[in-house]
Amino acid sequence: MRSAFALFDTALRFAIGLSIAGIMLAICLQVVARGTIGALPWPEELSVILMIWGLLLAAAYVLNERGHVGITYFVERLGPKTGALLVAAMHLLIILFAAAVIYGSIDKLGSVARLRTGALGISRAVPNLAIPVACALYIVVSIRIILESFEQWRNPG
């Protein structure tokens, strides 16, 4: 199980890195093109799409690393068992919210699938797909944290 989560962590970091590298390359290309052959229509659009994907993937990564801002004062005061149950309950709410977002985005993806972006000419579903994919990642990360919380609940200390 740990190796699967390690692979998940590595894949997530790699996808975020690709997104950042793609943004940098697209912007550098646009800067060079503006100074030489004239502005290209697609690098800006590509960088925005990559930024959307990178941002949502990075949010999943930060959740996975427990890096979001949180007030742990009360959780720490409750003791290890009760605190672990509270953490599990909070992540269960995250799972429910993310599942609702995924369900709601299915109709949205269907309605924009035939529409094309202006410069790249790709389906508008591509940038919109980042939302349900990120929510699915939030669910995976939350399940991982719930499992770890139950392990801490069974073996406090």
* DSSP-assigned states of every residue in 63-110: HHTT-S----HHHHHT-HHHHHHHHHHHHHHHHHHHHHHHHHHHHHHH
Give residue 133's pLDDT: 97
Positions of the chain with pLDDT lower than 70, given as ranges: 1, 157
Give residue 155's pLDDT: 83
Give residue 157's pLDDT: 63
Q: Report pTM.
A: 0.88
Phi-psi region of 69 (alpha: psi -120 to 50; beta: other; left: phi over 0): beta
Supply the mean pLDDT for the chain: 91
Long-range contacts of range 67-70, CB-CB < 8 Å, 24 or more positions apart?
none
* Amino acid letter, residue 34: R
